[in-house]
Homo-oligomer: A and B are copies of this chain.
Amino acid sequence: MSRSRISPPLVLVNFKCYLEATGSKAVQLAKYAQQVADKTGVTLAVAPQTADLRLVSQQASVPVFAQHIDPITPGSYTGHVLAESVLEAGASGILVNHSECRLGISVIEDTITRAKDLKLETVVCANTSGIAAAVASLGPDMIAVEPPELIGSGVAVSKAKPEVITDTVSRIRRINSDVLILCGAGITSGEDVREALRLGTQGVLVASGIVKAKNQLAAIEDLAGACRPIGKQTNLT
């Protein structure tokens, strides 16, 4: 099993195809992330659209993840996303199998293989505990779990039954002890982040909670603040 080069806890911000995080606004949001990372020491990473990868990588000093690649090698693949192209554009990792971009199980395995070849970190999304356990066998660097009870339901992790997260974490751990586990749903506040970490995850994957926030910077500060080690937090309080 590989070990991620990311130092947890991690807050990974998925820009999706939101206009509030496209082009120059993608750069602005990534700069906010860098600013908070610099101030708090928490690892913050961003996942902008493919067309924005290079611009964001050049203008902000945070790890940049592509939202998707195709498991192809260089060649005749018009319209596809080549791992080498996102790497040269500055990406250090990729999202795989996001619920909005579901992949075949063979495609997931092949994508992880391609990413490893180029030393791109992989975050594979899994929307049930069964799929999370399945994905754990494929050796990704990170798994983002999206319990169905938390997706689109408006239920925050901090309000949900703990088992929603802990069951998935324990199923993954039985198979893979190294993979970082992110909580990929139900995160809207620092309180949610704290609860996610308390339940055994090493970070969060968040999108609208930050991108769609009226004050993006404040939203990042809130989430990142909750990631700091208890000792430091106590000092700050």
Which residues in A have some Cβ–Cβ distance to B below 8 Å? 14, 16-19, 22-24, 47, 49-55, 66-68, 72, 74-82, 84-86, 88-89, 95, 97-109, 127-128, 130-131, 133-139, 171, 175, 207-208
- B139 touching A74 by the CB < 8 A rule? no
Contact of A76 among B95, B103, B131, B207 (CB under 8 A): B207
Return chain B residues, CB-CB under 8 Å to A100.
Answer: 76-80
Q: How many copies does the complex hold?
A: 4
Complex: A212 Cα to B186 Cα, angstroms: 39
- A77 touching B130 by the CB < 8 A rule? no
- B128 touching A137 by the CB < 8 A rule? no
Return chain B residues, CB-CB under 8 Å to A95.
Answer: 78-79
Contact of A131 among B47, B67, B78, B109 (CB under 8 A): B109
Complex: A136 Cα to B1 Cα, angstroms: 18
- A50 touching B130 by the CB < 8 A rule? no
The 8 closest A-B pairs by CB, nearest first: A68-B79, A79-B101, A23-B88, A133-B137, A134-B134, A78-B98, A78-B100, A17-B77
Return chain B residues, CB-CB under 8 Å to A78.
Answer: 14, 16-17, 47, 67-68, 95, 98-101, 207
